[in-house]
Amino acid sequence: MARSLNPPRPFVRSLEEDLMTVKSIIEAIREAMHEEMAADTRVMVLGEDVGTRGGVFLATQGFIDDFGENRVIDTPLGESSIAGVALGLAFKGLRPIAEIQFSDFWWYAANQILGEASRVSYGTNGNLSAPLVVRIPYGGGVRGGLFHSQNIESYLYNTPGLKVIAPSNPYDAKGLLKSAIRDNNPVIFLEHKKIYRAVRGEVPEDDYTIPIGVADVKRQGDDITLIGYGLVLHYGLEAAANLEDEGVSVEVVDLRTLRPLDKDTILSSVKKTSKVLIIHEANTTGGVGAEVSAIISESAFEYLDAPISRLCGPDIPTMPFAPTLEDAYMLNTEKITVALRELAAY
């Protein structure tokens, strides 16, 4: 894709202004984990290649030198044991961060996460907790083909007992990952691969957190609310800028956390604009957009001036391998611009 990904304005300064604090998402994630491990000896990482290799995306580069083999564990190729071991460590009072190398491999860990970790606190009346984080790189548009491109959030976000986070920029990624590590519940932290390095933005050196479950209005507007998260949010911001040139003012809401969803932010924006477009890369049926749509129709029906619209991935089994088909699958600025235009005209 030839298009450049412009980071959202509030989070980026020019290089002249402050070279030191402009970071990529992967750097922000690395920094968050490093700071938490330095501050709290209970925090540790485990996963395939996270040690000597520093992770396939280099999220834990240098960690094994800084924290040693006991806190940076290279595991066998077995996601079930990665999640299961992390859960056991969490029972015993540690704060493990498990890395699943690609979202496409998470299925083997599904029972440990959905069937066990999510239920620990509820099932023991709060006597046990599972303060673990599972970091999962996800998403397409990277020519990863059928087995390195999946969007898995729909399978996770409907599970009570889990928290699910999907940041779109470095600032949010660092603040939310720190909150996730400090949280006493199992947290799934989804990292879109295409924006690991494509999106850069300001990240403060000091310690800060962003609360889980709070969405963020990335652009103010009056005519249409555009709701998304992760990669497509950036396309959405570009589309919103296109619409501004046409006299339509689009408000862009970054969900940031997919479970729990921030109903207040969603509803107050929709009540203002009366029109909604929900975008995500994951396929349409049963996706996060379906739930957002239901929330809006339940609680803001009388404020609607158009059908709640979704522009999401097509319902096909997986990301196609052929580049033309992958491009067809993926959302982009043009598709979102067209959808916004139709909604504005409605």
Partner 1 sequence: MPIVSIELPHVGESVVEGIIDRWLKKPGDRIKRYDSLVEVVTDKVNMEVPSPFDGVLTRILAEEGATIPMGAVIAEMETDDPAAVAQISKAPEEKVAGTVGVLVESNTNLGPTGAAVAEEPPAKPVSTARGAFYSPVVMKVAQEHNVDLSQVTGTGINGRVTKKDVLSYIESGAKTSAPTAPRPATEDDEEVVELKPVRRMIAQHMVQSASQIPHVWAMVEVDVTNLVSLRQSVREEFQKREGQDITALPFVIKAVVDSLKENPSLNSTWRDGKLVLKKRIHIGVAVSAPDGLVVPVIHDADTLTIAGINGLLRDMAERARQGKLNLDDVQGGTFTVNNTGALGTLLTQPIINYPQAGILTTESVQKRPVVINDAIAIRSMMNICLSFDHRILDGFEAATFLQSVKGRLENVGPDTPIY
What residues are annotated to the active site?
148
In the set 77, 307, 321, 323, which binds partner 1 (CB under 8 A)? 307
- The single residue listed with the structure tokens 């690395």 is 30
Which residue's CB is nearer to partner 1, number 110 or number 306? 306
Q: Three-state SS for 259? A: strand
Which residue's CB is nearer to partner 1, number 255 or number 270? 270
Tell which positions 198-227 bind partner 1, by CB under 8 A.
none
What are the two backbone dihedrals, phi and then psi, of residue 217, each rounded to the nearest 5 degrees? -80, 110
Which residue's CB is nearer to partner 1, number 13 or number 335? 335
18 binds partner 1 (CB under 8 A): no
Q: How far apart are CA 284 and CA 290, in angstroms?
A: 8
Which residue's CB is nearer to partner 1, number 77 or number 316? 316
Q: How far apart are CA 235 and CA 15, in angstroms?
A: 23
Helix, strand, coil shares of the chain, percent, nearest 5, are: 40, 20, 40
Which residue's CB is nearer to partner 1, number 36 or number 281? 281
Distance in Å, CB of 238 to partner 1, minimum: 15
In the set 294, 305, 321, 323, which binds partner 1 (CB under 8 A)? 305
In the set 274, 290, 291, 299, which binds partner 1 (CB under 8 A)? 274
Total residues at interface with partner 1 (CB under 8 A): 28
What are the two backbone dihedrals, phi and then psi, of residue 250, each rounded to the nearest 5 degrees? -110, 130
Which residue's CB is nearer to partner 1, number 31 or number 326? 326
Q: How many residues does the chain have?
A: 346
Which of the ranges 7-15, 96-104, 157-165, 337-345 carries the binding residues for partner 1, by CB under 8 A? 337-345
Distance in Å, CB of 266 to partner 1, minimum: 16
Residue 325: how many CB atoms within 10 A of its CB?
Answer: 12
How far from the centroid of its chain's Cα atoms is residue 175's Cα?
Answer: 13
Distance in Å, CB of 339 to partner 1, minimum: 8
Judged by phi (left if over 0) then psi (alpha if -120 to 50, else beta), residue 286 lies in left
**How far, CA to CA in Å, does 14 sit from each of 198, 206, 316?**
16, 20, 41
CA atoms within 13 A on the CB side of 221: 29
Which of the ranges 45-53, 123-131, 136-144, 306-314 carries the binding residues for partner 1, by CB under 8 A? 306-314
In the set 122, 220, 315, 321, which binds partner 1 (CB under 8 A)? 315
Closest listed residue to residue 320, CA positions, set 192, 142, 166: 142
Q: How far apart are CA 92 and CA 8, in angstroms?
A: 41
147 binds partner 1 (CB under 8 A): no
In the set 56, 58, 295, 304, which binds partner 1 (CB under 8 A)? 304
284 binds partner 1 (CB under 8 A): yes
What are the two backbone dihedrals, phi and then psi, of residue 152, each rounded to the nearest 5 degrees? -110, 5
Q: Three-state SS for 256? A: coil
Query: Which amino acid type is present at position 154?
Result: S
Give the pair of three-digit tokens for residue 178. 């720190």
Give the pair of three-digit tokens for residue 282. 């994951």
Distance in Å, CB of 318 to partner 1, minimum: 9
295 binds partner 1 (CB under 8 A): no
Distance in Å, CB of 343 to partner 1, minimum: 10
324 binds partner 1 (CB under 8 A): yes
294 binds partner 1 (CB under 8 A): no
Distance in Å, CB of 272 to partner 1, minimum: 11
Q: Three-state SS for 229? A: coil
Positions touching partner 1 (CB under 8 A) are 274, 284, 301-307, 311-317, 324-325, 327-330, 334-335, 338-339, 345-346
